[in-house]
């Protein structure tokens, strides 16, 4: 059985779908459905069991968790980059992650987890080295703190332990995320409702809409998770999960507009509250990911936008 935390969320539910499509329904989902908006992500899936996140956390802390789990895919986290409650962020993204990791490591279970490119902050070098890591917010710090914990433990563990530093992931099944949904989802809604796609004006050396991000389709993220989870030999390390190809927000908006067949771009002032907290450029160095054996090609942005929007209601 595979334990997927955050299994009702965006990436987690796409993983559940992928396992179901491959003929596997031995999936245990852990999540928090206090906000029931995520429920549709599981309604068309088949799972073996469901655990509330508090139930799992309590079982881990009390060492009473007794599940026939053979692998752990840890996607659950607070991903709100504007969240300022550091205690809440660290409880969710660090303390809980340690408990789950220690439980899996003691049983030598493959453990693949979601880290984030937010650990790099304003760096212009995106190689998985400590000197490049300087997060701009507590979300990025919480992810880095857990990466550091894992790094200290790697030499003593014989089973697979892999952290995937997600860059800008987009795709279907993120309708519940609101303002934290990918820009593709937000731009589509803007064009459908107002006829315009709103992008930031130039700031920090970038022209209007010229900020660049490494946008990666969720199907590629799912494939990377499955590659490491299902590897026949143990793999250990922290790897960037991006395409290695930065694209502008103008490119993104134009792909949305072209797919819809309507709309135009409007530029709005850069928000003062994001000054010093915003990544204007990200581009994954994928050398280590490729060296670890993941060789599947990445989806081009225009193709990924088309696939995403074809799946939207």
For range 245-252, the mean pLDDT: 97
The pLDDT mean for the chain works out to 94
For range 111-125, the mean pLDDT: 95
Q: Which residues contact 292 (CB under 8 A, 6 or more apart)?
A: 162, 228, 235, 237, 239
Q: Per-residue b/e over 109-124, b at no fewer than 16 CB within 10 Å?
A: bbbbbbbbbbbbbebe
pLDDT at 108: 96
Q: Has residue 313 got a pLDDT over 70?
A: no
Residue 284: which of 169, 206, 182, 167 has the closest Cα? Answer: 167
Tell me the residue length of the chain.
Answer: 313
Q: Has residue 67 got a pLDDT over 90?
A: no
Q: Has residue 291 got a pLDDT over 70?
A: yes
Count CA atoms closer than 13 A to 189's CA, side-chain side: 11
pLDDT at 84: 81
For range 272-294, the mean pLDDT: 91
For range 90-101, the mean pLDDT: 95
Residue 94: which of 111, 74, 64 has the closest Cα? Answer: 74
- The answer to whether 236 is a known catalytic residue is no
CA distance 98 to 129: 21
Region of poorest pLDDT, from 32-36, 73-77, 80-84, 169-173: 80-84
pLDDT at 170: 97
pLDDT in tens, 172-231: 999 888 877 899 999 999 999 999 999 999 887 899 999 999 999 999 999 999 999 999
Q: Distance between alpha carbon 198 and the CA centroid of its chain, in Å? A: 24
For range 152-165, the mean pLDDT: 97
For range 142-159, the mean pLDDT: 97
- The answer to whether 120 is a known catalytic residue is no
Q: Distance between alpha carbon 49 and the CA centroid of its chain, in Å? A: 23
Q: Has residue 252 got a pLDDT over 90?
A: yes
Q: Has residue 46 got a pLDDT over 90?
A: yes
Q: Has residue 277 got a pLDDT over 80?
A: no
DSSP classification of residue 125: -
State percent of the chain over pLDDT 70. Answer: 100
Helix (H) or strand (E) holding 55: helix 53-61
pLDDT at 101: 97
Residue 53: which of 31, 36, 76, 35 has the closest Cα? Answer: 31
For range 245-263, the mean pLDDT: 97
Q: Which of 50, 98, 149, 177 is catalytic?
A: 177
Domains belonging to the chain, first-starting first, are 2-170+215-244+283-298 (3.40.50.720)
Instruction: Locate all alpha helices (DSSP H) within 72-155, ordered by sequence.
Output: 86-90, 96-106, 138-153
Angle formed by the axes of helices 301-310 and 249-260, nearest 10°: 40
For range 113-140, the mean pLDDT: 95
Q: Which of 94, 113, 139, 281 is catalytic?
A: 139
């Amino acid at each position: 059985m595979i334990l997927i935390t955050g299994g009702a969320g965006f990436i987690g539910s796409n993983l559940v779908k992928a396992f179901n499509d491959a003929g596997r329904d031995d999936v245990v989902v852990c999540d928090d459905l206090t906000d029931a908006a995520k429920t549709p992500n599981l309604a068309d899936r088949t799972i073996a069991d469901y655990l509330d996140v508090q139930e799992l956390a309590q079982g881990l802390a009390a060492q009473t968790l007794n599940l026939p789990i053979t692998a752990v895919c840890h996607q659950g986290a607070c991903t709100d980059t504007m969240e300022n409650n550091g205690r809440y962020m660290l409880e969710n993204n660090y303390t809980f992650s340690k408990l789950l990791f220690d439980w899996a490591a003691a049983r030598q279970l493959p453990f693949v987890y979601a880290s984030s490119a937010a650990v790099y902050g304003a760096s212009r070098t995106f190689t998985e080295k400590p000197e490049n890591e300087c997060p701009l917010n507590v979300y990025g710090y919480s992810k880095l703190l857990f990466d550091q914990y894992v790094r200290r433990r790697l030499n003593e563990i014989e089973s697979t332990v892999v952290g995937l530093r997600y860059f800008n992931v987009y795709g279907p099944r993120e309708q519940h995320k609101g303002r934290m949904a990918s820009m593709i989802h937000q731009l589509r809604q803007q064009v459908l409702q107002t006829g315009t796609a709103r992008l930031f004006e130039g700031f920090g050396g970038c022209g209007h809409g010229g900020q660049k991000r490494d946008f990666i389709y969720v199907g590629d993220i799912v494939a990377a998770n499955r590659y490491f989870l299902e590897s026949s030999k143990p793999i250990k390390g922290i790897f960037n999960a991006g395409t290695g190809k930065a694209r502008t927000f103008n490119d993104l908006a134009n792909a949305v507009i072209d797919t819809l067949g309507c709309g135009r771009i409007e530029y709005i002032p850069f928000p003062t509250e994001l000054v010093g907290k915003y990544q204007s450029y990200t581009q994954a160095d994928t050398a280590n990911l490729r060296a670890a054996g993941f060789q599947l090609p990445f989806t081009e942005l225009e193709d990924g936008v088309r696939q995403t929007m074809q799946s939207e209601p």
